[in-house]
């Protein structure tokens, strides 16, 4: 123990080491704070829209009640959906800055609504957010390099290496002690702000533990790389230059090349195609006999087969039916589009096993539920919700029940 | 041959002899060329896809059968944002904004299907483009090649020798700088190849390209000076390398991320949901077309009746419903413009705040210059959105006017079995509606937008050059 405290005193006497450790702690704390502020803002926005949405619904319900046709209410009412950030979202904001976390849908064709975006400034999204995952993935390796590149070579250049090796009881244990000490302090500088943020955000303990494990593993990887380069017995400068080069290739160059390769090899069958097809299918209903549409609709929804036949007058039943049929007609295209996105995501995860920078980012966003899978899950929830709206409104409009205020 | 060129030549010879230096330089050259080719083929691919979709959408629009004009208002039209030629060099925000838009009556939709929402997480690691290589990676190469330029001489004691032999510190610094600047120019050379590819494209503008060459040149020159300055000021080569790496990390990696975060927290954007609801409320306040006693629409009806000198809307020579649709669209569209302007004001404030960080990070200044000159910045996207809204409005109003002029009011109101056929007008009308043509930014627009970034970069450059003087003086004193 005394040896360790001695080493600690030695390490902290070096101005650069102390500065580096303080800087890591500061950056980690700042990124946690920035992430928490962003998540708090998103929660505030979700809370802020609730009364506005309720007011909007009430206004429509009141106005639609006068028309006596529940179809009108169904047509004009937009229902809010939202995707609450997970407790860990502050550590890795993932896609939450570019994909909507609030989306309103109505009982019409969903495929024309599901891919709508939120208003955001793309210039702010372009460089990526300053969150904990950024500090960990990009900056931490640089600090590892700063602290470890001269672990042995520094002593050699100072002329102390032979003496240290000759000292009784030192040898391997000395280096192990130094590596553990530097690595441990680095881990503390990263994990302490993260843990405080996680406790404040009520992150479940197992999740927090996984993230801490991830931090430790990523640190261990980079420390391993530095030690390996250190074994080449080059000068400190050569070590630093080589390591910075490795960092550049692993975190900046290879991921961008992989991105190009993945998007090339896995086309997603443009989402545009499916919305164009859906629009054709929906609007065609006005030009074909309405009975055709209803037949198609009843085939997919036999429970409505026995509802009263259409008259010459406009009926919302038919209107909603052709929207539903339009959605169903593009189902294969929707599935293909989604499979393409999932395949791209899976490929990137696969690359994560080769590139630790990508792997850590992927796992962090998965744990934080801010990745593509989370986005797709939100879309699934919207889809289910949309179905529920239709299930609720369709019987109303089919049978023309009177809309009572507040039922929507 | 004077001292400066001698020193520069010596330094370059030393770099040539160092295998690591040569390999790093070769790799960066390859990377730039690869980035240029990949980016270029990517952009031409995108351009082709969008042009194909645009043609398909136009064809589908004109191929619609006889219909009531209002059905066409809801059928709407799809438009696609074409890419400016310089996007192959710097695609800017293209991947982060939707590039297709559905235009219909009464509604303003978002631009959808941006790359970022249909790619893997790798898209957030940056994109391999010539702009990325020059902005982010090239300075790092200059750091590696130049950190020891002066520090090495000092460590070996050759610095004092040279100074004693009468080489002035200023000549030494300038010589080292010249060598590194030549390397920087060579680093930028492959990027010029990208420019040559782009210059052959239709619509490539010389003005913005000149600004970009100037901007990237200033940026690389600036980094050369920074490297030499640090190398001269720091005692040991290793410290110089670490200091430069730290500087690069802060200026190129950290600040460009921190600045947007601060901007996003300072100027908050309303959500689409809030905007939609606010527009609905404003509309309701203006008037309710469904309410026969509504004062706004009663006044409108009176005005129309007076204009045509009749007492009943049934007696009008035009279809009153069509006129009502024109008036309604005018109201909503004015609100759309109003709210879009507000949203952009906030976004511009955010971007301006980010740009302000260019004072402490030349990388931010260069990125602004580069995107603005390429026309791939927020303003470029806004240009598309504004033209899209103008086109949407013209298209919808033309269809509404068709309803007023060619569909009889009595037919419009009729609910009998044959009414549906009588309401329809000939499909030939759809041909008369012009298709969307994006008007690209002019040379003047792009150059003007890129000037603030260029000014900031040149100020940086001037400041760094001036800093060479006191540093030379300090170095001169080191002789003693």
Contact A275, B102 (CB under 8 A): yes
pLDDT at B20 over 80: no
- What is the rounded distance in angstroms from the CA atom of residue B280 to the CA atom of residue B335? 9
In the numeric block, the tokens 């009531």 are attached to B68
Segment holding B376, helix H or strand E: none
- Tell me the average pLDDT across B182-186: 94
**Pairwise CB contact (< 8 Å): A117 & B74:** no
- What is the rounded distance in angstroms from the CA atom of residue B43 to the CA atom of residue B38? 9
> For residue A104, what are the β-bridge partners?
A80
Residue A1's pLDDT is what? 61
Residue of B nearest to A33 (CA): B261
- Tell me the average pLDDT across B48-67: 92
pLDDT at B86 over 60: yes
Segment holding B185, helix H or strand E: helix B169-199
**Pairwise CB contact (< 8 Å): A259 & B128:** yes
Kindly indicate the confidence band of residue B42, based on its pLDDT and cuts at 50, 70 and 90: confident
- What is the rounded distance in angstroms from the CA atom of residue A32 to the CA atom of residue A258? 29
Segment holding B278, helix H or strand E: helix B272-286
- What is the rounded distance in angstroms from the CA atom of residue B83 to the CA atom of residue B441? 11
Q: Kindly state whether residues A147 and A114 are assigned to the same domain.
A: no
pLDDT at B480 over 60: no
Tokens in use for A362?
């992927």
Mark which residues 134-153 of B lie under 8 Å from A by CB.
136-137, 140, 144, 148
Q: What are phi and psi of B92, to 5 degrees?
A: 55, -130
**Segment B112-134, tens digit of pLDDT:** 888 888 888 888 888 889 999 99
In-domain check, residue A407: no
**Segment A164-220, tens digit of pLDDT:** 777 756 667 888 888 999 999 999 999 999 999 999 999 999 999 999 999 999 999
- What is the rounded distance in angstroms from the CA atom of residue B480 to the CA atom of residue B477? 6
Residue of A nearest to B56 (CA): A276
Q: Provide CB contacts within 8 A for A85, sequence distance 6+.
A: A39, A42, A43, A96, A101, A370
How far is the alpha carbon of B242 from chain A, nearest alpha carbon, in Å? 7
Contact B320, B409 (CB under 8 A): yes
In the numeric block, the tokens 């669209």 are attached to B329
Mark which residues 154-193 of A lie under 8 Å from B by CB.
none
Angle between helices B237-248 and B148-156 (to 10 degrees): 160
In-domain check, residue A19: no
Residue B1's pLDDT is what? 60
- C-alpha distance from residue A190 to each of A132, A341, A391, B258, B410 (Å): 9, 33, 50, 18, 75
pLDDT at A394 over 90: no
Q: Kindly state whether residues A369 and A278 are assigned to the same domain.
A: yes
Task: State whether residue A287 sits within 8 Å of chain B by CB.
Answer: yes
End-to-end CA, chain A: 69
Residue A403's pLDDT is what? 41
Lowest mean pLDDT among A51-65, A296-310, B412-426, B453-467: A296-310
Residue B479's pLDDT is what? 58
Q: Kindly state whether residues A276 and A395 are assigned to the same domain.
A: yes
In the numeric block, the tokens 């009430």 are attached to A58
Segment holding A104, helix H or strand E: strand A102-105
> Residue A136 carries which DSSP code?
I
**Pairwise CB contact (< 8 Å): B71 & A142:** no
Residue of A nearest to B94 (CA): A122
Q: Provide CB contacts within 8 A for B52, sequence distance 6+.
A: none
B448: left (phi over 0), alpha (psi -120 to 50) or beta: alpha
Mark which residues 211-270 of A lie under 8 Å from B by CB.
236-238, 240-241, 244-245, 248, 251-253, 255-260, 262-263, 268, 270
Q: What are phi and psi of A81, to 5 degrees?
A: -125, 155
Task: State whether residue B176 sits within 8 Å of chain A by CB.
Answer: no
Whole-number average pLDDT of chain A: 88
- What is the rounded distance in angstroms from the CA atom of residue B297 to the CA atom of residue A259? 55
> Residue B271 carries which DSSP code?
P
Kindly indicate the confidence band of residue B38, based on its pLDDT and cuts at 50, 70 and 90: confident
Give the number of domains in chain A: 2
Segment holding B348, helix H or strand E: helix B320-356
pLDDT at A160 over 90: no
Listed ranges A264-278, A359-373, B2-16, B42-56; the one with the highest mean pLDDT: A359-373
**Pairwise CB contact (< 8 Å): A275 & B92:** no
Tally of CA atoms within 13 A in the half-sphere of A176 that contains its CB: 5
B83: left (phi over 0), alpha (psi -120 to 50) or beta: beta
Angle A185-A189-A191 (CA atoms, 0-180°, nearest 5)? 110
- What is the rounded distance in angstroms from the CA atom of residue B49 to the CA atom of residue B42? 11
**Segment B196-238, tens digit of pLDDT:** 878 777 788 899 999 999 999 999 999 999 999 999 998 888 7
pLDDT at A147 over 90: no
Q: Kindly state whether residues A220 and A182 are assigned to the same domain.
A: yes
Q: Is A46 exposed, middle or buried (0-12, 13-18, 19+ CB in 10 A)?
A: middle
Lowest mean pLDDT among A98-112, A208-222, A291-305: A291-305
Angle between helices A331-352 and A356-367 (to 10 degrees): 130
Angle B434-B440-B441 (CA atoms, 0-180°, nearest 5)? 140
- What is the rounded distance in angstroms from the CA atom of residue B376 to the CA atom of residue A145? 36
Mark which residues 235-264 of B lie under 8 Å from A by CB.
237-238, 241-242, 245-246, 249, 253-254, 256-258, 260-261, 263-264
Rg (CA), chain B: 31
pLDDT at B472 over 60: yes
- What is the rounded distance in angstroms from the CA atom of residue B1 to the CA atom of residue B8? 11
pLDDT at B390 over 50: yes
**Segment A53-79, tens digit of pLDDT:** 999 999 888 877 777 777 788 888 899
Contact A83, A101 (CB under 8 A): yes
Of B136, B151, B145, B137, the C-alpha closest to B230 is B151
pLDDT at A358 over 90: yes
pLDDT at B17 over 80: yes
How many cross-chain Cβ pairs, A to B, lie less than 8 Å apart?
A: 256
Q: Kindly state whether residues A214 and A298 are assigned to the same domain.
A: no
| A344 chain-B contacts, CB cut-off 8 A | 118-120
Pairing of strands B107-112, B100-104: antiparallel
Angle A235-A238-A242 (CA atoms, 0-180°, nearest 5)? 140
Residue A406's pLDDT is what? 38
What is the number of helices (H) and of strands (E) in chain B?
20, 3
Contact B138, B363 (CB under 8 A): no
pLDDT at A405 over 50: no
Domain that holds residue A72: 32-131+267-399
String of b and e for B381-390 (b: at least 16 CB within 10 Å)? bbbbbebbbe
pLDDT at A242 over 70: yes
Domain boundaries, chain B: 3-477
Q: Kindly state whether residues A96 and A142 are assigned to the same domain.
A: no
Of B204, B257, B151, B66, the C-alpha closest to B475 is B151
Residue A171's pLDDT is what? 67
Contact A226, A148 (CB under 8 A): yes
- What is the rounded distance in angstroms from the CA atom of residue A136 to the CA atom of residue A191? 10
**Segment B221-231, tens digit of pLDDT:** 999 999 999 99
Residue A2's pLDDT is what? 76
In-domain check, residue A244: no
| A45 chain-B contacts, CB cut-off 8 A | 271
What's the whole-model pTM score? 0.91
Q: How far is CA A48 from the centre of its chain?
A: 22
Whole-number average pLDDT of chain B: 91
- Tell me the average pLDDT across B164-183: 93
Contact A97, B260 (CB under 8 A): no
Q: Kindly state whether residues A277 and A172 are assigned to the same domain.
A: no
**Pairwise CB contact (< 8 Å): B260 & A138:** no
In-domain check, residue A199: yes
Q: Is A115 exposed, middle or buried (0-12, 13-18, 19+ CB in 10 A)?
A: buried
pLDDT at B404 over 50: yes
Contact B360, B252 (CB under 8 A): no
Tokens in use for B384?
């598309």
In-domain check, residue A255: no
- Tell me the average pLDDT across A383-408: 66
- Tell me the average pLDDT across B387-394: 96
Q: Kindly state whether residues A143 and A169 are assigned to the same domain.
A: yes
Name the residue facing A129 among B67, B148, B261 (closest C-beta). Answer: B261
- What is the rounded distance in angstroms from the CA atom of residue B109 to the CA atom of residue B77? 11
Contact B342, B267 (CB under 8 A): no
Tokens in use for A136?
């960990």
Tokens in use for A247?
């960092």
- What is the rounded distance in angstroms from the CA atom of residue A344 to the CA atom of residue B97? 19
How far is the alpha carbon of B256 from chain A, nearest alpha carbon, in Å? 6
pLDDT at A407 over 50: no
A224, A239, A254 - which closes a domain: A239
Residue A40's pLDDT is what? 95
Contact B219, B134 (CB under 8 A): yes
Kindly indicate the confidence band of residue A16, based on its pLDDT and cuts at 50, 70 and 90: confident
Q: Kindly state whether residues A93 and A178 are assigned to the same domain.
A: no
> Residue B8 carries which DSSP code?
H
């Amino acid at each position: 123990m005394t040896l360790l405290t001695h080493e600690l005193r030695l390490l902290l006497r070096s101005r650069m080491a102390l500065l580096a450790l303080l800087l890591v702690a500061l950056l980690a704390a700042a990124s946690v704070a920035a992430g928490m502020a962003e998540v708090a803002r998103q929660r505030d926005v979700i809370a802020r829209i609730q009364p506005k949405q309720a007011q909007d619904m009430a206004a429509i319900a009141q106005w639609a009640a006068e028309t006596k046709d529940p179809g009108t209410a169904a047509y004009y009412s937009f229902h809010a959906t939202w995707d609450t950030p997970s407790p860990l979202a502050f550590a890795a904001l993932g896609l939450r800055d570019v994909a909507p976390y609030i989306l309103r849908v109505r009982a019409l064709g969903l495929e024309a609504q599901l891919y709508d975006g939120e208003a955001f400034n793309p210039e702010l999204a372009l460089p990526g957010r300053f969150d904990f995952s950024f500090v960990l993935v990009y900056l931490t390796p640089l600090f590892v390099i700063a602290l470890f590149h001269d672990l042995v070579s520094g002593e050699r250049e100072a002329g102390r290496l032979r003496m240290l090796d000759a000292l009784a009881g030192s040898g391997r244990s000395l280096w192990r002690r130094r590596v553990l000490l530097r690595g441990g302090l680095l881990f503390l500088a990263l994990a302490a702000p993260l843990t405080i943020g996680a406790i404040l955000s009520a992150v479940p303990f197992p999740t927090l533990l996984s993230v801490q494990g991830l931090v430790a593993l990523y640190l261990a990887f980079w420390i391993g790389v530095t030690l390996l380069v250190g074994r080449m017995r080059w000068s400190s400068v050569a070590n630093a230059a080589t390591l910075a080069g490795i960092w550049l290739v692993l975190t900046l160059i290879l991921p961008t090349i992989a991105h190009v390769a993945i998007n090339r090899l896995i086309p997603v069958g443009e989402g545009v195609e499916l919305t164009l097809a859906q629009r054709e299918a929906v609007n065609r209903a006005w030009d074909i006999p309405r009975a055709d549409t209803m037949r198609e609709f009843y085939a997919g929804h036999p429970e409505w087969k026995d509802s009263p036949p259409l008259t010459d007058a406009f009926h919302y039943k038919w209107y909603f039916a052709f929207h539903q049929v339009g959605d169903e007609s593009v189902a294969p295209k929707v599935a293909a589009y989604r499979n393409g996105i999932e395949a791209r995501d899976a490929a990137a995860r696969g690359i994560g096993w080769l590139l630790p920078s990508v792997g850590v980012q992927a796992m962090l966003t998965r744990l934080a539920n801010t990745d593509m899978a989370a986005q797709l899950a939100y879309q699934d929830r919207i889809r289910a919700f949309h179905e529920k709206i239709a299930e609720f409104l369709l019987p109303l409009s089919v049978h023309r029940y009177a809309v009572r205020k507040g039922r929507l | 041959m004077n001292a400066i060129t001698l020193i520069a030549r010596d330094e370059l010879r030393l770099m040539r002899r160092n295998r690591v230096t040569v390999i790093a330089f070769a790799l960066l050259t390859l990377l730039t060329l690869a980035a240029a080719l990949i980016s270029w083929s990517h952009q031409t691919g995108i351009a082709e896809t969008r042009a194909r979709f645009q043609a398909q959408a136009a064809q589908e629009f004109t191929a619609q059968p006889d219909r009531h004009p209002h059905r066409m208002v809801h059928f709407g039209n799809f438009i696609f944002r074409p890419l400016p030629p310089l996007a192959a060099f710097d695609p800017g925000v293209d991947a982060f904004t939707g590039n297709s838009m559905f235009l219909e009556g009464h509604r303003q939709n978002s631009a959808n299907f941006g790359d970022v929402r249909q790619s893997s997480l790798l898209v957030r690691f940056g994109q391999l483009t010539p702009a990325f290589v020059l902005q982010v990676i090239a300075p790092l190469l200059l750091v590696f090649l130049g950190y020891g330029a002066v520090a090495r001489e000092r460590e070996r004691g050759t610095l004092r020798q040279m100074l004693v032999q009468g080489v002035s510190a200023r000549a030494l610094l300038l010589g080292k700088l010249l060598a590194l600047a030549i390397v920087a120019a060579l680093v930028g050379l492959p990027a010029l190849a990208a420019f040559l590819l782009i210059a052959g494209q239709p619509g490539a503008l010389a003005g913005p390209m000149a600004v970009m060459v100037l901007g990237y040149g200033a940026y690389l020159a600036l980094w050369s000076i920074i490297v030499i300055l640090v190398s001269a000021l720091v005692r040991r080569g290793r410290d110089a390398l670490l200091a430069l790496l730290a500087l690069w990390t802060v200026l190129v990696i950290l600040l460009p991320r921190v600045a947007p975060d601060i901007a996003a927290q300072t100027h908050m954007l309303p959500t689409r949901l809030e905007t939609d609801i606010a527009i609905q409320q404003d509309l309701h306040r203006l008037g309710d077309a469904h309410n026969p006693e509504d004062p706004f629409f009663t006044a409108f009806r009176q005005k129309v009746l007076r204009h045509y000198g009749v007492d009943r809307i049934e007696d009008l020579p035009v279809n009153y419903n069509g006129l009502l649709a024109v008036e309604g669209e005018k109201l909503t569209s004015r609100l759309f413009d109003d709210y879009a302007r507000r949203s952009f004001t906030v976004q511009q404030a955010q971007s301006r705040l980010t740009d302000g960080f260019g004072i402490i990070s030349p990388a931010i200044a260069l990125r602004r210059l580069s995107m603005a000159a390429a026309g791939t910045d927020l303003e470029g996207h806004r240009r598309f959105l504004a033209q899209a809204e103008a086109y949407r409005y013209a298209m919808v109003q033309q269809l509404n006017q068709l309803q007023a002029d060619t569909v009889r009011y009595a037919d419009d109101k009729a609910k009998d079995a044959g009414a549906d056929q009588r309401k329809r007008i000939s499909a030939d009308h759809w041909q008369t509606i012009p298709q969307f043509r994006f008007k690209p930014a002019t040379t003047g627009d792009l150059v003007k937008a890129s000037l603030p970034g260029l000014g900031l970069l040149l100020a940086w450059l001037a400041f760094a050059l001036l800093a060479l003087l006191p540093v030379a003086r300090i170095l001169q004193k080191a002789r003693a």
